[in-house]
Amino acid sequence: MEVKFSIRRYDPESSNAVSHFQEYQLDLNDSSTVLDGLIEIREEIDGTLSLRCSCRSAICGSCAMRINGQAGLACNTKVIDVLPKDGSPIIVEPAGNLPLIKDLIVDFAPFWSKVNAVDPWLKPEGEEPEEEYLAPNEDMLHLAGVMSCIMCGACVSDCTVLAVDENFLGPAALAKAYRFVGDPRDDDDDNRLKMLNGNNGIWDCTRCMQCVEVCPKGVDPMGRIMALRDKAMTAGYNNTNGARHAKAFSDSVKHSGWLDELQLPIKSFGIFNIKAMIGLIPLGIRAQLNGKRPPIFHKSIPGADKVRKIFDKVENKI
Amino acid sequence: MKYAFYPGCVSRGACPELYTATLKVCEILGIELDESVLEGASCTGAGVLQEKNERLGDTLNARTFAMAEKSGLPLMTICSTCQGVMAQANERLTADPDYRESINQDLREEGLEYKGTIDPKHLLWVIVEDLGIDVLKSKIVRTLDGLKLAPFYGCYIVRPSKALGLIDNPNRKQALEEVIEAVGGVVADFPGKTLCCGFPLLTINPENSLKMVSRHTLDAKESGADAMVTPCPLCHLNLDGYQPKAASSIKQDIDLPIIHLPQLVGLALGIKPEEMRLNKHIVSTKKLLSELAVTP
């Protein structure tokens, strides 16, 4: 089948180093992957096209890039699945949120420095066993997904928080952190959670699910970040806007059946956070003037006691 | 066409205009809404409750589904966040009958049981799939000719794509554009239409939240948009309510009206703007409405 690719090109050494799209047309099979197409372009049409790839089997994690605006591995994306029906080209761009080196190659240095920042190794305490550290199978099962991470950077590429804040630890590093916090052989949970609970950590995730959607290996980074939030709160790290928000939200639903939107920001920032309280005033005035202020007296839904009963029954179940 | 109507918290709190516009639009479109069958239904948990306890969230949603099931009516939402959270809960509840049964044990005391037959549907999909674009077109009394509208889906009506049925119904990825074109508008496409509005970070990292607001609204304006339309009241709250603050933080005017999906449809159906509280937005819709030659 005839396939058109529109590839974002960039060469820092060219006299006119401007990012631009270049189109290529080639003949591919129904079974061809995007990577097959890119390699054919490089081998047969234009030897200057630069990309990373190695295993061609979704194992090495080298060929993450944006295909039609969404991150994925070129080697496990079939052309036929992403070929626009209207005859327009498949758009291929380098991974996002990482510095561009050339064409489809990005600099992974920030990626690795964030993974390193979570101390991605086991820290057991006590005397070393004579043989290996043993862990019951059932305690390791929940880590199977996160251990499948191949560090391809697809989640980092499309993370909506990294797009506005390069200091966020990001989905890959936080998923890696969960891999050790959740490991029964690790004894450094408290220090780990303390660090993750800080700035640029677990509370900066906006829960947009981009990482879950684009991950080619089912790692579910956002799910791991939520699990880390739960672990941090359970460990007593409750002095963050995020932890207060989660508690205020839960209390509101438990006691009235629905959300008290007026109280939520106040309780999240903390009523004694004078600066934040003053910051809320202009919004409050605008909302008041436009009839958009939530009710001051938050009424419970009919039969709210039934919701409360469910909370009582389920809250302490695992 | 009759639905068990789940309005969600926000349309009864900070976005009363969404609730009002929905009732008026559905009446004209012949979409009958029964809110009483879901009386006493709780908040979905909005993903926040699920951070701490997914099972608790699933139990509350199974309770709402059981109420809808009992009424024999399909369930309709008007909030992307409700839609997304319900779809994810429903995926777990329908995939595993043993899990559903264990959840049902906590509902029995109330005489409720969820059998797994509900498929929660957002008004956007109800209009495109159940009503049909042709029927919508046949009810239009005033086409919004030439109006350039940027679609803003946000996150929870597009991800996770499998739970939301986007794999089986790929048209859902274009549903907002279909409605915009059906009412005579022109789609102003921009890169952020399925990205995060920043609402969940509002109280956690306001700086990042505001950056998301300014980025998306400016990108939409750059693509020529006169206004942005969204099926999510949380996206509306952030993109509208915090737009003045976002604008002042980048020292640049934005001034892009953010309208709810039913408000857009309502304008084409001839509903007066003030009946849909279009005069009650933070970012004024006056200029937009004057371009349409309707007074607010």
Tell me: the pLDDT tens digits for B186-215?
Answer: 999 999 999 999 999 999 999 999 999 999
Q: Is the pLDDT at A317 greater than 80, yes or no? A: no
Task: Using the structure block, give the residue that is written with the tokens 């629905």.
Answer: A258
pLDDT digits (tens, 9 = 90+) for A112-164: 999 999 999 999 998 989 998 889 999 999 999 999 999 999 999 999 999 99
* Tokens 């809404």 -> residue: B33
Test B212 with A164 for CB contact under 8 angstroms. Answer: yes
ipTM of the complex: 0.94
Question: What pLDDT digit, counting tens, does each position of A7-39 carry?
Answer: 999 999 988 789 999 999 999 999 999 999 999
Contact B201 A161 (CB under 8 A): yes
CA distances from A203 to A197, A251, B179 (A): 7, 19, 36
Structure tokens at B14: 């900070």
The pLDDT-based confidence of A228 (bands split at 50, 70, 90) is: very high
Under 8 Å between Cβ of A122 and A186:
yes
In this structure, what DSSP letter does residue B126 have?
I
Of B51, B59, B195, which has the smallest distance from its Cβ to A314's Cβ?
Answer: B59
From B163, which residue of chain A is nearest by alpha-carbon distance? A213
Please determine, for residue A234, whether its predicted confidence score (pLDDT) is greater than 80.
yes
d(CA B244, CA B253): 8
The Cα A221–Cα B146 span in angstroms is 42
Q: Give contacts of B 38-97 with A, CB under 8 A.
A: 39-43, 45-53, 55-56, 59-60, 63
Residue at B75: amino acid letter: L
Average pLDDT, chain A: 93
0.90 surpassed by pTM: yes
Region A237-248 average pLDDT: 91
Query: Cα-Cα-Cα-Cα dihedral of B189, B193, B194, B200, to 10°?
Result: 180
> How many other C-beta atoms lie within 10 A of the C-beta of residue A40?
17
Regions of chain B short of the pLDDT cut 50 = none
Residues A74 and A130: beta-carbon distance below 8 Å: no
- Nearest chain B alpha carbon to A213: B160
Q: Do A249 and B241 touch (CB under 8 A)?
A: no
What pLDDT, on the 0 to 100 scale, is given for residue B295? 54
Instruction: Determine the angle formed by the axes of helices A304-314 and A241-256, rounding to 10 degrees.
Output: 130
Distance CA A62, CA A194 (A): 32
**Mean pLDDT confidence for A239-260:** 90
Q: Which tokens hold the place of B254?
A: 């934005």
Q: Is the peptide bond before B233 cis (omega within 30 degrees of 0)?
A: no
Kindly report the nearest CA distance between residue A252 and chain B, in angstroms.
10
Give the angle subtended at the CA of B60 by the CAs of B58 and B62, to the nearest 5°.
65
The confidence score (pLDDT) of residue A190 equals 96
Q: Is A134 helix (H, G, I), strand (E, B) or coil?
A: coil
What number of residues does chain A have? 318
**How many CB atoms sit inside 10 A of residue B46's CB?**
24
A-chain CB neighbours of B195 within 8 Å are 160, 163, 208, 210
pLDDT digits (tens, 9 = 90+) for A254-282: 999 988 878 788 887 777 777 777 777 77
CA distance B219 to B229: 14
For residues A11 and B151, give the distance between their C-alpha atoms in angstroms, rounded to a whole number. 34
Q: Who among A213, A279, A291 is closest to B277 (CB)?
A: A291
- Of residues B12, B160, B208, nearest to A165 (C-beta): B208
pLDDT of residue A318: 59
Q: Which of B42, B51, B202 sits opposite A246 (nearest CB)?
A: B51
> What is the pLDDT averaged over residues A89-100?
98
Does the bond joining B160 to the residue before it have cis omega, within 30 degrees of 0? yes
